[in-house]
Amino acid sequence: MTDTPEFLPKERDLIRREFMLRLSSARSLHDGVLVKRWATGPHKGQPKPAAAVQSMIERGLLSLVDDGAHWLKATFTPAGIKALRRMAADQRALPPSQYQQLLDELAGLP
């Protein structure tokens, strides 16, 4: 048993979509997951994370970074990196043919 949460199915799907190889390039872990802001209304400018992102933030796997850009980014916490490493250990979850860049990046992290 581990003290670090595992990713839920919707979270794994989001990770696969965000970091999959597209047109010979893929997002870096350092780029994180992009998070929209509310454009109008009483919450204008505040984060508007997708449900899977919100779930990972609440469970301590991601943290929001506001660098003043139009989009916020959610980056993996140390607990999130541990969970991502466990996910990467299963080649069915992150096939090397599509996620080799992510797997290499994970291998280079402390």
pLDDT bracket for residue 1 (50, 70, 90)? very low
Sheet holding 62-65, edge to edge: 47-48, 33-37, 72-76, 62-65
pTM value?
A: 0.87
The DSSP bridge pattern shows strands 33-37 and 47-48 to be: antiparallel
Model pLDDT for residues 54-105, shown as the tens digit of each residue? 999 999 999 999 888 888 999 999 999 999 999 999 999 999 988 999 999 9
